[in-house]
């Protein structure tokens, strides 16, 4: 169907011209439907793809439309650049107990937890089927350990809850690519790219959802959903104002898609949804160390595993502030303090620089070449010895520590003293300050010397509308918003701590529920 744009912007009710306050886009304001579909899915990541597949397979005659605000080459959301681990559990009760313990003090409703665990222990055949259907390789285990899984919180019951992890090759992006290929095999699933959803069209009294207001090429239009709307627009990793409001972070940047700017949160709040888990990143995801450079919307993730250790991190006072070589990625950058798991300290001591010598510069790339948008989607070819990045000025070079300090705006005497103190610890084989292991105490003593600024990085957020296991969206009063569903990162059920491999499986479970329930709705008259 040809898209016909509406004549004026005020008719959708996006903003009252007299008050300047956002108002609901009501059905009465629709002058013309630019497009119509049975099931309308907003966002084309793993959750959106899964919702589309489920809706199609339940009703192959239904028309399904996916709207994605990013260009086609940049679609896929965070699913495309995740670690691609899929948590597999075979023990429902152990999984419930583990997730319940990780979710304190912000518990998941018990009925939701029970149903989620039911679906988790039966999910693996569905995943494998999606791989087989498009000729992709389903792999038991991801090479992390004997069972192919990082058991992030063993004291909470991880060993009993998690059987193994799985993935779909290739890595990176294999899971996303398989589900994308499944979508492309189904001819009645349509896709529109570079189409941003601005608002839901609702009944002002019942809140029933009839479609969306979208923006195409700078113009607004109405798109009708005859059965239901599924919101899969992701989080707000690329919205610094929301970071400040919800996390208290003055600076944080996304590792994944630059398209996650919080559109869905704004739309759902306006639609009358009850919101939950808005601090989810600050709790479950941890704050990761990244590198940000001019012209890049997202950051590079610092190398997870190092082959050499002649480097340290220094905070705003030119001092070290933690054990730099602890494998924080095995707990999603959470550290234990006074019996509680908290965020690693990077966001509290800005600015931070990584200080290193020639030994580290030549040994391996400073970044991991998976799990970051710049490396996976933008295909930035970071050099294996970091020489290209030194030449760009991204990595600062100097012949002495004092000269290096001057170039990066630090106190030469203080930084030199910090490096000297660290080198003395290396000579003794004991890090009395932070307990860095003897095996990682390599002196910073081979010139030239280098520095690169570290910024806090966010993998994803989990806040959104409160939903149930059927992906139905609640109002603050406990009612359900008719014909509205939510899946994936937006409104994730997870809170506090997080087990590796859970987000992608949640995207599948919530996406399947959303697609199933949306397509089974009666058609609007």
The Cβ-side half-sphere exposure at 199, using a 13 Å CA radius, reads 24
Separation CA 411–CA 263 (nearest Å): 42
Q: Give the separation between CA 295 and CA 164, rounded to whole angstroms.
A: 39
**The pLDDT value given to residue 500:** 87
Residue 9 has pLDDT above 70, yes or no: no
Report pLDDT digits (tens) over 498-521.
898 999 999 999 999 999 999 999
Q: Which domains does the chain have, with CATH numbers?
A: 287-458 (3.90.700.10)
Tens digits of residue pLDDT in 338-362: 888 888 888 889 999 999 999 999 9
Q: Give the tens place of pLDDT for each residue, 76-102.
A: 999 999 989 899 999 999 999 999 999
Cα(281)–Cα(462) distance, rounded to whole angstroms?
6
pLDDT of residue 332: 82
Lowest model confidence (mean pLDDT) among 119-123, 148-152, 294-298, 319-323: 148-152
DSSP labels, 205-274? TT--EEEEEEEETTEEEEEEEEEEEEE-----TT-HHHIIIII--SS-EESS-TT-SSHHHHHHHHTT--
The pLDDT value recorded for residue 505 is: 97
What is residue 516's predicted lDDT score, i.e. its pLDDT?
98
* Each residue's pLDDT tens digit, 403-430: 999 999 999 999 999 999 999 999 999 9
pLDDT for 285: 65
pLDDT at 370: 85
Check residue 104 and give its pLDDT.
85
Q: Is 367 left (phi over 0), alpha (psi -120 to 50) or beta?
A: beta
CA distance 91 to 118: 9
pLDDT at 306 over 80: no
Phi, psi of 368 (to 5 degrees): -90, 135
Please say if the pLDDT value at position 478 is more than 90.
yes
- What pLDDT does residue 95 have? 97
Which is more confident, 70 or 150?
Answer: 70
Question: How far apart (Å, rounded) are the C-alpha atoms in residues 121 and 74?
Answer: 32
What is the pLDDT of the chain when averaged over all its residues? 91
Residue 247, CA atoms < 13 Å, CB-side half-sphere: 31
Q: Would you say 68 and 44 are in contact if contact means Cβ atoms under 8 Å apart? A: yes
The rounded distance, in Å, linking the Cα atoms of 407 and 70 is: 38
Cα separation, 218 vs 54, in Å, equals 32
Q: What is d(CA 472, CA 480) in angstroms, rounded to the nearest whole number? A: 7
> Under a CB-based contact definition with an 8 Å cutoff, are residues 285 and 457 in contact?
no
* Helix, strand, coil shares, percent, the chain, to 5: 30, 20, 45
Please tell me the predicted confidence (pLDDT) of residue 17: 36
Cα–Cα distance for residue pair 510/492, rounded to 1 Å: 9
Higher pLDDT, 442 or 305: 442
Instruction: Please compute, for residue 19, the number of CA atoms within 13 A of its CA located in the half-sphere on the CB side.
Output: 7
What pLDDT score does 87 carry? 93
Q: What is the pLDDT of residues 16-52, one digit of tens each?
A: 333 333 667 888 889 899 999 999 999 999 999 999 9
Residue 369's alpha-carbon distances to 359, 360, 372, in angstroms, are: 20, 17, 7
- pLDDT (tens digit, 9 = 90+) per residue, 242-291? 988 888 888 888 999 999 999 999 999 999 999 999 887 655 567 889 99
* Cα 47 from chain centre: 12
DSSP 48-117: HHHHHHHHHHH-TTS-EEEE-SS-GGG-SGGGGGS---EEE-S-HHHHHHHHHHHTTTSPPPHHHHHHHH
Question: Is the Cα torsion angle 362, 363, 366, 368 positive or negative in sign?
Answer: positive
Q: What pLDDT sits at residue 522?
A: 85
Task: Give the residue with greater pLDDT, 24 vs 219.
Answer: 219
Cβ 6 vs Cβ 31: under 8 Å? yes
pLDDT exceeds cutoff 60 at 292: yes
Give the DSSP letter of residue 463.
-
Res 142: pLDDT = 61
The pLDDT value recorded for residue 6 is 35
Structure tokens at 445: 């003593």
Taking 90 as the threshold, does the pLDDT of residue 480 lie above it?
A: yes
The pLDDT value given to residue 315: 97
CA distances 403 to 138, 144, 361, 407, 449, Å, are 52, 41, 18, 6, 9
Instruction: Indicate if the pLDDT at residue 4 is higher than 60.
Output: no
**pLDDT beyond 50 at 60:** yes
Q: What is the pLDDT of residue 145?
A: 47
pLDDT at 143: 53
Residue 394 predicted with pLDDT over 70: yes
Distance CA 478, CA 176 (A): 34
Going by the DSSP 8-state scheme, the letter that residue 147 receives in this structure is T
Q: What percent of the chain has pLDDT over 70?
A: 93
3-state secondary structure of 325: coil
> How confident is the model at residue 202, as a pLDDT?
97
């Amino acid at each position: 169907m040809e898209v016909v744009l509406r004549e004026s912007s005020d008719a959708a009710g996006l903003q009252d011209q007299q008050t300047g306050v956002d108002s609901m886009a009501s059905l009465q304001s629709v002058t013309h439907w630019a497009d119509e579909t049975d099931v309308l899915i907003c966002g084309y990541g793993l959750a959106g793809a899964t919702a589309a597949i489920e809706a199609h397979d339940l009703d192959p005659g239904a028309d399904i439309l996916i709207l994605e605000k990013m260009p086609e080459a940049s679609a896929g959301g965070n699913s495309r650049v995740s670690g691609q681990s899929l948590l597999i559990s075979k023990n429902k009760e152990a999984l419930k107990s583990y997730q319940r313990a990780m979710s304190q003090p912000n518990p998941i409703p018990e009925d939701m937890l029970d149903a989620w665990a039911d679906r988790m222990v039966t999910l693996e055949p569905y995943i494998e089927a999606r791989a087989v259907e498009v000729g992709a390789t389903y792999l038991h285990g991801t090479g992390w350990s004997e069972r192919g899984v990082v058991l992030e919180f063993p004291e909470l019951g991880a060993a009993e809850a998690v059987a193994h992890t799985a993935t779909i090759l290739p890595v990176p992006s294999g899971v996303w690519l398989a589900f994308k290929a499944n979508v492309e095999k189904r001819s009645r699933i349509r896709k529109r790219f570079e189409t941003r959803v601005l608002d839901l069209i609702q009944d002002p009294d019942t809140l029933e959802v009839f479609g969306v207001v979208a923006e195409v090429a700078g113009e607004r239009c109405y798109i009708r959903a005859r059965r239901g709307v599924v919101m899969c627009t992701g989080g707000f990793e690329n919205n610094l104002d929301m970071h400040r409001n919800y996390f208290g972070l003055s600076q944080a940047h996304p590792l994944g898609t630059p398209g996650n700017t919080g559109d869905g949160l704004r739309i759902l709040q306006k639609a009358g949804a009850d919101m939950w888990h808005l601090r989810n990143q600050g709790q479950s995801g941890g704050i990761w160390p990244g590198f940000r450079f001019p012209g890049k919307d997202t950051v590079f993730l610092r190398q997870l595993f190092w082959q050499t250790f002649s480097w340290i991190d220094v905070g705003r006072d030119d001092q070290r502030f933690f054990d730099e070589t602890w494998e924080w990625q095995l707990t999603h950058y959470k550290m234990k303090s006074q019996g509680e798991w908290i965020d690693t300290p990077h966001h509290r001591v800005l600015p931070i620089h990584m200080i290193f010598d020639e030994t580290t510069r030549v040994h391996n790339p400073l970044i991991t070449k998976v799990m970051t948008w710049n490396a996976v989607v933008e295909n930035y070819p970071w050099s294996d010895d970091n020489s290209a990045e030194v030449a760009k000025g991204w990595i600062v070079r100097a012949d002495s520590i004092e000269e290096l300090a001057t170039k990066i705006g630090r106190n030469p005497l203080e930084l030199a003293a910090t490096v000297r103190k660290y080198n003395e610890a290396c000579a003794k084989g004991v890090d009395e300050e932070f307990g860095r292991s003897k095996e990682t105490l390599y002196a910073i003593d081979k010139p030239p010397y280098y520095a690169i600024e570290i910024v806090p990085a966010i993998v994803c957020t989990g806040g959104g509308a409160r939903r149930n296991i059927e992906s139905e969206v609640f109002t603050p009063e406990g009612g359900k918003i008719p014909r509205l569903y939510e899946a994936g990162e937006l409104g994730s059920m997870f809170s506090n701590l997080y087990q590796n491999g859970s987000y992608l499986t949640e995207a599948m479970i919530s996406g399947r529920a959303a697609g199933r329930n949306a397509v089974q709705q009666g058609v609007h008259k």
